[in-house]
Chains A and B, each alone.
Chain A
Amino acid sequence: MDALLALFQDYTVQNVALGAALLGISSGVLGSFAVLRQQSLLGDTLSHAALPGVCLGFIVAGTRQLGSILLGALLTGALAALLMLLLTRRSRLKTDAGLGVTLSVFFAVGIVLLTYIQGTNNASQGGLDSFLFGQAAAILRSDLYVMGGITLFALALVAAFWKEFKLVTFDPAFAGSLGLPVTVLEVLLTVMTALAVVIGLQMVGVVLMAAMIIAPAVAARQWSNRLEGMVILAAAIGAAGGVFGGVLSAAGRGLPTGPLIVLSISAIVLVSLLVAPGRGLLWEAAQRWRNRRHLRSQQVLTALYEFSQRHQDPAYKTEQGMVNAYYGVGTGPTLAQLQHRGLVRSMSHMPEEGVHWELTSSGRIEAERILKNLNPQES
């Protein structure tokens, strides 16, 4: 505990934790819209396309000055998105090819610029490599102000246009019919995805930024059916995973930050996919199992009822072996469960012939209710 406390009093670790939290919040919120609009991979393209911008920002500023680097990243990211749209709208290339082409070519240009900067032997270029995989330890307090400012700006935009963004995300055609400027809003959302990418560049790097956009949103979607809940949860999940991975990297043996953050958040995604109430896979399996059991008990109960009706004997005793034969499986557990609910009772009718079952009066009422629900028009 003391060690943990000491860890958080460390100056670098504080920076990293703050930066990771900012990154998690912004990419969680903005990523939610990207994932819901089925533009997950646009984040991948935007983040790879940020690399030439990082280099250009560096070349223009002459030093590793975060402001100009991030501005460059935003510009080339937006340019890539624009080119992607142009390619898919004005040629026969489909979205996937448009994304892949812009991603790889912009990244290639970035690599060329990166090696150009390395070739010029500028002393302060050392920090530039960290934009590939992220190097949280390299974050300065002044960088945090830049990141914080961008995060606040993005969050303010989301708050201001909340209703419009929501409508464009879920039903763009309806939004258009209401007279909303759909294209402008869509461009705005795309630019904001680029903003989220830009915030994360230093922490996780261009290569893994796609996961930061997608993963928190996918995890949050599992827990909430409402956009409000999803966005807030995504921010929380992004921040939690980000801080965990970031601190781990800063405290550890200089492991790259990006992979650690991505793995932390992906672990949350996995857990969410499995156990989230309502949409989790395990939850659904349990639900299916419960349904099947319920159905089986209804079947057995009504079968007993039908037998007694056919024999015109309300107290007719059915042999368990016969019910088993009727369903082809052992119905012992189901009958025991029905007995537990007080709907049937077991009788030793004739000791040598095994267990017999008879309906209780509440079992009769329940069976009649089930049959009535099944065929409402007959009764």
Chain B
Amino acid sequence: MLADLFDNIPLMIIATGALVGVAASLLGTFLVLRKNSMLSDAISHSIVFGIVIVWLLTGQQSGPVQIVGAALTGLLTVFLTELLVNTRKVKNDAAIGLVFPVLFSIGVLLINLYARDVHIDQHAVLLGEIGFVWLDTLQIGPYRVPQSLVSLGAMTLVNFTFVALFYKELKLATFDEGLARALGFAPVALFYALLGLTSATAVAAFDSVGAVLFIAFIIVPPSAAYLLTDRLWKMILYGSLISVASSILGYFLATAWDVSIGGMMATMTGGFLLLAFLFGPRYGLIAQELRRYSQRQDNEGRALAVHLYNHEHEPRELEENAVGALRNHLRWSEEKARRVLVRSLDQNLIVRDAEVLHLTSKGRAVAQEILEPWLHDLDRRRE
């Protein structure tokens, strides 16, 4: 039964993509919240250097040594960047953009010089070969399991354990670094641990999605999730779900059109981000517009209530608080006047007596809340 599962190539490919996404979202959430997204760009480029160096030294193309070695390269990138920033000659963004191209260039050159015939060729570096994950298998008990799946599964587990163990500390260090430091939670060490794990995950994902597409997996799902929720754990959850959905959709679209599977999965994460950007319940573009629209309408209703309240019990009340006055005195267009009238009648703010408008007690309260807030407060206190 299980053996069938592991022999199911599409399932293995989808599972690999999903694991990349879940492992990455666990960490990417914190990178996005800490405004360090572009560090993942730097790390995923420069691990190429680490992978080549470890390969030249040990001859290993994957496995734990590779992961540790490349994780150190990732940390080296961050360290060098901070070193440059600390000279105060280079701004943070420029420093990132100086360090990773150098490491990446050395990596690509070394590949060209020494590794022409090995599987780390320069295109695999960028694209990965998620379609071929089932070629490299590992015998575990009676099952032959794709090696990428094993290392990615391990990374997912490690990342999950890290986030679960240090959830409180990570949360505090992300949202209030000063307080975290004052309380002795060592936010800097935590940050470096986070980036070390990011590098390790990038290496584990390297064979399947390559260096650049990994950025999509680590940044885009958490960004989309950020547009959907305010709660940290929900953000991690939504990010992971988006990754899984992207892997499934991406696989089937890619096989249908015969294009890069990894590329299509990454493209799908972008699609989900676009959806969240447009239709997000609270921060989405449409929700924002709707909120703005209803606020505008509420304000129009308030303006009418204030106008009526001002002229209540005045000698000219019958003239001022008439339907026609909306157009002549408030200079509203016919259409706008009718819209506000209908809405205010619906909301029971006013009642209409032929051409004359009267405030209801609810409408009067609305006007008082604006014009005489102290009365309003008094009323409330009396209640």
**Which residues of A are interface residues toward B (Cβ below 8 A)?**
35, 38-41, 43-44, 48, 87, 90-97, 99-101, 103-105, 107-116, 119, 129, 132-133, 207-208, 210-211, 213-215, 217-218, 221-222, 254-256, 258-260, 262-263, 266, 269, 273, 279, 281
In the assembled complex, the CB of B214 is this many whole angstroms from the nearest CB of chain A, namely 8
| Complex-state Cα separation, A129 to B35, whole angstroms | 33
Nearest-Cβ distance from residue A210 to partner chain B, whole angstroms: 5
B216: Cβ under 8 A from any A Cβ:
yes
Q: Given A105-B216, A222-B89, A255-B113, list of 16 further CB < 8 A pairs?
A: A40-B91, A90-B285, A91-B227, A93-B226, A94-B37, A104-B212, A104-B270, A107-B213, A111-B213, A116-B259, A207-B45, A210-B101, A211-B97, A218-B89, A218-B90, A263-B106
Residues of A contacting B257 with CB < 8 Å? 116
Q: What's the nearest-Cβ distance from chain B to residue A267, in Å?
A: 9
Q: Is the beta-carbon distance between A104 and B109 smaller than 8 angstroms?
A: no
CB distance from A222 to the nearest CB of B (A): 7
* Residue of chain B at shortest CB distance from A102: B270
In B90-121, the 8 Å CB interface with A consists of 90-91, 93-94, 96-98, 101-102, 104-106, 108-109, 112-113
Residue pair A96, B36 in contact (C-beta under 8 Å): yes
Contact B105 A112 (CB under 8 A): no
How distant is A352 from chain B, measured CB to nearest CB, in Å? 52
Interface residues of B (CB under 8 A from A): 32, 35-38, 40-41, 45, 84, 87, 89-91, 93-94, 96-98, 101-102, 104-106, 108-109, 112-113, 122-123, 126-127, 212-213, 215-216, 219-220, 223, 226-227, 254, 257-260, 262-267, 269-270, 273, 277, 280, 283, 285, 288
B127 to chain A: closest residue by CB? A111
Contact B266 A108, beta carbon cutoff 8 Å: yes
Taking CB atoms, residues of chain A closer than 8 Å to B223 are 93, 97, 100-101
Q: In the assembled complex, how far is the CB of residue B125 from the closest CB belonging to chain A, in whole angstroms?
A: 9
28 A-B pairs with C-beta separation under 8 A:
A38-B94, A41-B97, A48-B212, A91-B283, A92-B226, A92-B283, A96-B35, A100-B219, A101-B273, A104-B212, A105-B266, A105-B269, A105-B270, A107-B266, A108-B266, A111-B127, A111-B213, A112-B263, A112-B267, A119-B259, A214-B94, A221-B89, A254-B112, A255-B109, A255-B113, A256-B108, A266-B102, A273-B89
A125–chain B nearest beta-carbon distance, Å: 13
For the complex, give the distance between the alpha carbons of A97 and B91 in Å: 18
Q: Are B41 and A100 in contact (CB under 8 A)?
A: yes
Asked whether B98 lies within 8 Å of A259 as measured between CB atoms, the reply is no
Chain B nearest CB, measured from A40 CB (Å): 4
Residues of B within 8 A of A48 (CB): 212
CB A37 to nearest CB in B, in angstroms, measures 10
Say how far B104's CB is from chain A's closest CB, in angstroms: 7
Do residues A266 and B36 form an inter-chain contact, with CB atoms below 8 A?
A: no
User: Which of these, B84, B215, B280, B288, contacts A103 with CB under 8 Å?
Assistant: B215
CB <8 Å contact, A262 and B212: no
The answer to whether B220 and A104 have CB atoms under 8 Å apart is yes
The distance in angstroms between the C-alpha atoms of A94 and B102, with both chains bound, is 27
| Complex interface: chain A residues within 8 A of B265 (CB) | 108
Residue in chain A with minimal CB distance to B262: A111
* Cβ–Cβ < 8 Å partners of B216 in chain A: 104-105, 107-108
Whole-angstrom CA separation of A281 from B270 in the bound complex: 43
Tell me the interface secondary structure of chain B in the complex.
Answer: helix
Contact A111 B263 (CB under 8 A): yes
| Bound complex: CA A170 to CA B223 (Å) | 31
A160 to B206 alpha-carbon distance, docked (Å): 46
Contacts of B101 in A (CB 8 A): 208, 210-211, 215, 262, 266
- Looking at A44, A256, A266, which has the most chain B CB atoms within 10 Å of its CB? A44
List chain A residues, Cβ under 8 A from B280. Answer: 91
Whether the pair A256, B122 counts as a contact (CB closer than 8 A) is yes
Which of chain A's residues have a CB closer than 8 A to the CB of B122?
Answer: 132-133, 256
Which A residue's beta carbon lies closest to that of B257? A116
Q: Could you tell me the distance between the alpha carbons of A377 and B157 in the complex, rounded to whole angstroms?
A: 71
User: Once the chains are docked, how many angstroms separate the CA of A94 from the CA of B35?
Assistant: 7
The answer to whether B109 and A108 touch across the interface, beta carbons within 8 angstroms, is no
| Distance between Cα atoms of A133 and B308 in the complex (Å) | 71
- CB of A109 within 8 A of CB of B267, answer yes
6 tightest A-B CB contacts, nearest first: A105-B270, A108-B266, A111-B263, A211-B101, A259-B105, A104-B216
Tell me which residues across on chain A come within 8 A of B213, comparing CB atoms: 104, 107-108, 111
Quote the shortest CB–CB distance from A277 to chain B (angstroms). 13
- Determine the distance from Cα of A281 to Cα of B89 in the docked complex, in whole angstroms: 9
- In the complex, the answer to whether B273 meets A105 with C-beta atoms within 8 Å is yes
Contact of A263 among B37, B109, B277 (CB under 8 A): B109
B264 to chain A: which residues have CB within 8 Å? 108, 112
Q: Within the complex, which residue of B38, B112, B273 is in contact with A255, where a contact is CB–CB below 8 Å?
A: B112
Contact between chains at A132 and B126 (CB < 8 Å): yes
Taking the closest CB of chain A, its distance from the CB of B210, in whole angstroms, is: 9
Chain A residues within an 8 Å CB radius of B96: 40-41
User: How distant is A191 from chain B, measured CB to nearest CB, in Å?
Assistant: 19
A188 to B277, CA, bound (A): 26
Report yes or no: B89 in contact with A115, Cβ–Cβ below 8 A: no
A101 CB contacts on chain B under 8 angstroms: 37, 219-220, 223, 270, 273
Report whether B220 and A105 are in contact in the complex, using a CB–CB cutoff of 8 Å: yes
A127 to chain B, nearest CB (A): 14
A221–B94 CA distance with the chains assembled, in angstroms: 12
Contact A100 B38 (CB under 8 A): yes
Beta-carbon contact of A259 and B97 below 8 Å: no
B97 is contacted by which of A93, A119, A210, A222 (Cβ under 8 Å)? A210
Do A215 and B267 touch (CB < 8 A)? no
Decide: B258 and A119 in contact? CB cutoff 8 A.
yes
